[in-house]
Structure 1
Amino acid sequence: MARVKKSRKVGRIGVPKESWAPRKPKDPNNTKPKKHKGNPSGSRHSAVQLNEKNPNQSKQNDPRIGSKKPIQLVVETKDVKTKAKPNKPKYFSPAQELAELENNHRLNELLDMLDNDIVLTSDDQRFVDLKLARHKELCELLGIGNEEENKDQAKTNEDDPFDVFESINIEKFK
């Protein structure tokens, strides 16, 4: 007797296909128009032809060729510090500027701190120095002297006993 090999097939697997039948033709009247995406084919080349109509354009540009502007490959660092001009109030006369300086609230506070032996920051010290220098210039322009200092110097000359002692002429008492 002949030997029969074992098989895993158990008959048909799956659903049998239906017989092939041609599809119904689509009605062109019922279809929606297709949405067009992007530029039409050859649009790069047709753009050149449109530009040819301009008589002012002496050079024919090809849109496929990009910009001729050079590109920096290495980034150079520039100083970010831009000199911003501070908004200085404009005064009609030096007297007005002097009055504004003397009424400056920040300057008065910083001068009080200096009188109390409090150390100022470098920015505050620079501000005080600038304002005092401008105050001195304005006083010289207006001819205003420090009358208090002049009076103090005069009083110290009169009140100083050594100055009086040295200024005494001994020959008067002989």
Structure 2
Amino acid sequence: MARIKKSRKVGRIGVPKESWAPRKPKDPNNTKPKKHKGNPSGSRHSAVELNQQSPQQSKQNDPRVGSKKPIPLIVEAKEFKSKPKPSKPKYFSPAQELAELENNDRLNNLLDEMDSGVVLSADDKRYVDKKLARHRELCDLLGINGEAETIGEQAENKEDDPFARFESININEFK
């Protein structure tokens, strides 16, 4: 027997088909149905057919059309809504504010409690200090001396004040 040397080339495995034999036509009845995954390609771009049975819909709805909500093209700054602050009463003059401050019931009650020796809470103490500071500012602004003036001091001030002496002169004495 003749010895065959080993080679890396692989020979033909099996018998080649005859090239001259015609192919058998496929039978369309024996084919398996294809497995479909997802929507058919191009379904969004193809014309949409609706049920022709319902003549109620005169307008055809296109499923390609999305939301009808308008989209703003320019972003506007949002207004931040803060808690409504209790409105401060606006006064036309410092005298009106001073009169309101002196007639404040809460402040008067707290000052009475302080005079009687009751210890106030921190919030009440802050409130009293704030209102008293504003009272001092208004008194300075209006030129009101915080100390109570006696009648004797007023008389001395009139003697020193030349304008007060001028007004107190009786014109009938010089006739």
- TM category (shorter chain) comes to 0.3 to 0.5
Higher normalized helix content (fraction of residues): 1
TM value normalised by structure 1: 0.39
Select the structure of larger CA radius of gyration. Answer: 2
